[in-house]
Amino acid sequence: MLSDSPIIEVDSIDSTNNYAMQLIDANKAQQGLTIVAQSQAAGKGQRGKVWTDTPSQSLLMSIIVVPGRPIQEQFVFNAAIAAAIANVLQNLYKEWHINVKWPNDIIINDKKAGGILIENVLRGSKWTHAVVGFGLNVKQAQFPDSLPFATSLKIASGNDFNMTQLRDTLRENIMLCTVCPPPADKIMARYNELLYKRGQKQFFSNATGKWDVTLLNAHTDGTLEVQLRDGTIVFYHHGQATWEWGD
């Protein structure tokens, strides 16, 4: 399925997502075309955050895909990618407890191991391309004290993993869920099975304070359904409140 889709490997780059978007803008995009970097100088996270890495210790990749879903199902597409990655990791090491922290952080044993950033290209009313950017901590043996909730595949298992095999397996599974997309309800059911802290208390904060809620479900529009202490059900949009680690 991907044999004709090239993999572009670079030592260092500002952002693999930026490179992929430049190829799309230049009409050089190809389904499955993948950019892999040893290091990123300006790796992207959600909502303008920066993804930092140690050279050659993380899997840093971006895949150009044709989404194959209606434009209103952008979060469903996101959920499908997150579930595909989680499934690969769970099969890689059965003892791990894999979750997805809303909307798209990969959690292994209650710590963040990776993150997904999907950038969409919309031309008029048509959703023409998506760039699936993914960073996964693989070889790190430790993290600085400033990152107490970070982990890597090495830390979480004690094992070393072949980066090339991992890249190819993740790429194949990501492409599979876009070329043969499952129904939205099945994707969301799987995503909610993986939802980190589902049914549990979790603290959030914003400029006015900090509070706890019970996480319930994520929905196809990308909102997170939670229950406040007084029983009120509310729906959070991504960026509306900040997740508080360690509470």
Per CATH, the number for 201-243 is: 2.30.30
pLDDT of 180: 84
Please count the CA atoms within 13 angstroms of the CA of 116 that sit on its side-chain side: 27
Distance in angstroms (rounded) separating the CA atoms of residues 246 and 242 = 13
Distance in angstroms (rounded) separating the CA atoms of residues 74 and 118 = 9
CATH class of 7-194: alpha beta
Contact 239, 94 (CB under 8 A): no
Which residue in 22, 19, 58 sits closest to 38, CA to CA?
A: 58
Report residue 47 CA to chain centroid gap: 13
**pTM, rounded to two decimals:** 0.92
Q: Which amino acid is at 184?
A: A
Confidence of residue 47 (pLDDT cuts 50, 70, 90): very low
pLDDT of 46: 46
State the span(s) of the chain assigned CATH 2.30.30: 201-243
**Mean pLDDT computed over every residue of the chain:** 92
Could you count the other beta carbons within 10 Å of the beta carbon of residue 72? 11
Contact 13, 37 (CB under 8 A): yes
State the span(s) of the chain assigned CATH 3.30.930.10: 7-194
**Top-confidence residue, 130 or 124:** 130
Residue 103, preceding peptide bond in cis (omega within 30° of 0)? yes
